Structures are given as C-alpha cells and as structure tokens.
Amino acid sequence: MKHLTIILIALHVWSIFSQAIADNAPTSDRKDFIVTAYYSPIPNQSFYLRGSYEADILLNGNGTHGASGKSVYSGMLAGPKTYQFGTKIHLDWLGIGVIDDRGGAIVSSWSRWYDADRIDVWMWQGEEGLRRALSWGKRRISGTILSDEDVVEGHFIDFSNIKIANIRETDYKPQQKIKTKEAISIFNTTIDAYAAPERIKELQTILSQLSYYHGVIDGKYSKILEDAIYDFQMENQIIDSKKNAGAWYFWAKTRTKLQEIYTLYTENEKKRIAEEIRIAQQKAEYDKQVATEKAEVTLFVENLGAPKSDEVGVHVRNLQKSLKLLGYFTGRDTAIFGKNTRAALISYQIDQKIPKEELGKIGKSTKNALSHDLFALKNTSHTGISWNGK
C-alpha cells in the first residue's frame, strides 16, 4: 500500500511538471526551408523563362491569384499542402510571408530529394518579377513559423530590396512549343472502362472544367463519369433519350462535339485570363503611381521642418502655400513664420483636433494631417506647389 501511495504522488508531481512545460513551451516552430521564387507572367515580355507567355503561365499559374483565392501580393508564399493557408513564416533577413498559394513542385521535406520544406516566394509580375526570381534562384534559409501573437507589423517581406542580377535574355531563348498531342488525344480514341487511367483522367478533367463531371479525378471509369457523358450528350442534343444507341458512351459523335465545345472553352479562358492580367497590371501600375505620389507629399511635408517664430526659409513659404491651399492662410507667401502664419496653422490644427501641446508647432500629428489633406488635393486641382520643395 505504501508503494502504491508513493507511485500516485510521483504521477501527480509529474503531471504538474508536464503541464508547466507545456504552458511555457514556445509557440513558434524554427526550421530550415528551401526557398525558391516565382512571378506573374504578362503578355509581350521581351523574354520568358520557358520561351513564351503561355508556357510561363503553365509553370507559374495565371499570376493574378494564389490558390487560396487571394490576389497576389508582396509577401505571398507558395507552400506544401501540409501548411494551412494563412500560415505566417518569418524567413531570416527576408521578412514575414504568408502561405496563400500552392505549387506542384512545392513539397514537404524528403520529397523530390529535399531535406527541408520547400517555400516559393512571389517576386512581382512581368520582366521585373522574372529577373528578380532568376536572381534569387534557390537558397537555404532558416525561418520560424509564427503564431498570430508573434507577427510584427512592418516586418513583412519587401522583395523590392532584393538585388536584381544582370540577366541576359539570350540565356532564355524561346523553346519549342509544348506538344499538345497528349492533351487532345482523348478526342481521337474511344474512352471506356478498359482505357488507360491517364486517358480517363483527361476526360474527367475536361468534363469537370465544363461542369458536367463532379467526381474525383482518379482515372477510374465510374458511374459518375458515365452520367457526366450522358448529361453532356443530352444537353448538346447528341441523343434525345436513354434508349438511343451510344447513350453513356464516349464514341465518335460525342468526341467531336466535346472537342468543339472544349476548344471554344479554352479560347474563352485565355481571353478571361488575359483580361484578368490586364486588370491586375493596370491596378498594380495605379497602386505604384499612388504610392509614389504619396511618398512625394510625405517628403514635402517632412521638409517643412519645425519652424520657430520669425524663422525664414523656403520651407516656411511651402507651409504658407499649403495652408493657403487648404483655406487657412490668406496673406502673402513671405517665407517668414510670423504671427499670421502661426495663427493660420493653429486654426488648421484646431479643426483637425491636433493635441493642444502641438498647437503652433509642426509635430507628428500635424504632419500626418497635412500629408493626408494635401495628397487628397494633389490630383484634384492645380496646387501651384512644387512637391520637390524647390
């Protein structure tokens, strides 16, 4: 009995000790990664990795959205299926990325001879993105899987800091077009329960893309696949009842009609993808322009400095012009920080609910307010301000 009591006490102590260890265990998981890079191809690049826009689209995806459905963004990672979408990883010296994409070659450790999980970093679109991805190559980087509590704002990946090497387009000569014989072979042969699994998979995939087949792409000639063939035949008036010869069978007339419709489908898909890319490229260019203009205004406001009473300078004249543009200063642009200029500044600050201790001075809150208001006016009217401060 005495021995039993000792054992029970030991087990109780061990459970308390184990719980303490668990409670104090780190939430982050540190490990090595094989880090590669990819980009979003756009039409009319001067060169492509695989020789053509279409081939690079096949390699990189359509380039507008990740597999999670989110639009591509700086810091997007493609990760193995063992990582959930939204997983945040801090890669040493590179920054924090978020897994929102997948890739056929993006695999876990010990697959395809990798001894670490492979991660793909999105490096922008067009030739800039391609050059940066090629410059990056493949690297081994240590990283940490983060919990939401570990994420630090402002530490996300900024690929614009990655140096682009001098890539010669001649190193990437156009390759021969990808052969399409395999992709269209099912239109030239009967597919039935005795067909090769890869042929059945092709038929399953095409009927799935056309919304007739809703089963698993497994290469098995199932009742679900037969029903999909039958639905296609009925909808396209190849047969008019279950009693027709050829119902449920992928024979010549059905193959011809499917090839016709699938060809039209693929052409429309190319147009849709091209339009998505055009819109994404337009948006990226607009966002880049807005970011540049915001930076100009922010720098302009920073250069206003913190003038004191009766201080003279170009920065004071720029402050007077800014306050005049915002409707608070009506005097001449004397470049002197006198009582009229100070009064106009205080009036603006009161309307903007700037803290009392900053009234009459140009502090952080005032600069934020001026940056916001001046940017709003920059593109809606002629300001008469030289944003480079000259």
- According to DSSP, the residues that pair with 141 across neighbouring strands are 33
Q: Which domains does the chain have, with CATH numbers?
A: 29-163 (2.40.40), 181-265 (no CATH), 303-378 (1.10.101.10)
Q: Which residues of 314-353 are buried (b: 16+ CB within 10 A; e: fewer)?
A: ebbbbbbbbbbbbebbeeeeebbbeebbbebbbbbbeeee
Residues 265-292: what's their mean pLDDT?
89
The mean pLDDT of the chain is 81
Model confidence pLDDT, tens digit, residues 124-149: 888 888 888 888 888 889 999 988 77
CA distance 138 to 118: 10
Question: In the chain, what is the greatest distance between 2 CA atoms, to the nearest angstrom?
Answer: 100
Q: Quick one: pLDDT at residue 385?
A: 73
The residue whose two tokens read 């201080």 is: 311
pLDDT at 185: 66
The model carries a pTM of 0.40
Has residue 11 got a pLDDT over 50? no
First vs last Cα of the chain: how many Å apart? Answer: 93
Q: What is the pLDDT of residues 62-115, one digit of tens each?
A: 678 888 888 888 889 999 999 999 999 988 888 899 999 987 777 676 665 567
Q: Tell me what pLDDT residue 43 has.
A: 84
Beta bridge partners of 250: 191
Q: What is the average per-residue pLDDT within 221-227? A: 92
